[in-house]
A and B are shown apart, each in its own frame.
Chain A
Amino acid sequence: MRKGLGPFTITALVAGFAFLYLPILLLIVYSFNDSRLVTVWGGFSTRWYGSLWQNQALLDAAWVTLRVAFVSATLATILGTMAAVALTRLGRFRSRTLFAGMLYAPLVMPEVITGLSLLLLFVAIDLNRGYWTVMLAHTSFTMCFVAVVVQSRLIGFDRSLEEAAQDLGATPLRTFFSVTLPLIAPAVAAGWMLAFTLSLDDLVIASFTTGPGATTLPMRIYSQVRLGVTPEINAVCTLFIGFVTLIVMASSLAMKRQMIVAEQPVRG
């Protein structure tokens, strides 16, 4: 098979990635624009970044968002990993179809439906809406993403290692923590990262389930974005993108190293 870089391959890749990245690059470039008019270039400046630190509402929202994302990602990772283990290691059990259905449906469920239904649940059980309800809502939809990521890793590795551990008398719990978990650790970490960034990003579900005092950063950005494009928002967005890119890069490097370490004994 010819594996060269034909003109078609080059064109498709360049055009595809230009489409994906050009809008974000333009946004970043214009966040350093000195002019208040967003579409007129007025020289390089970082003044919009300076004014961000004076914006207390924005900083508060960022703090709420980080806290929600951290707690919900951690909970979602525990729940999602349990769900993935249940689906891959427990064999057939009754109502498995319902369980798998509830796990996969939120992956494609329109956010407005998830948001509205969770809000009505919180109202029905008379829970005060705020930080905790957003956290619970985020845990519920992100755990499904964690489950899928972990599950694809669980079915991908050699099960004889687990069987060997059990033959040698390890309890299932011990087997899980000393054999299975180290092997799936990269996927569990990737799942946590995914849950964390999904929670950071979420606007719709948070808007439905939040209450007074718990405005998240996307909600704050959204309410200003509706009024139009401003250089301050460009600056906030650039910081946000920079932050997420940094943690994704760092974790993918860490995971690659982990993956190599974890796979050594299996392959050797």
Chain B
Amino acid sequence: MSKTIKYHVRNPDIVFREEFDDWAILFDPDTGNVFGLNPTGALAWKMLDGTTSVKEIAEAMMRLFSNVPEEAPAEIMQFIDELVERGYVGQDVTTP
């Protein structure tokens, strides 16, 4: 039985703080770990709402940022994978 990851959702315990230059900070109050996000990372974080796909995030980036590279979807996925690994993001997994 295979599992399909449909959407990703932010861990509500992680504190997100956006700053004046569109960079942002993720802070895990339990561990004290701090992540700085660049503007594209911050946008991706805000779209991890459990209903938006990676493809849709990449499309939003294409609209909002200039010179977005072709490999953007892969980079977004890599970014999300790292957040998942750290427990900052959860996965909505369905079983077909």
Q: Do A and B come from one complex?
A: no
A interface with B by C-beta (< 8 Å): none
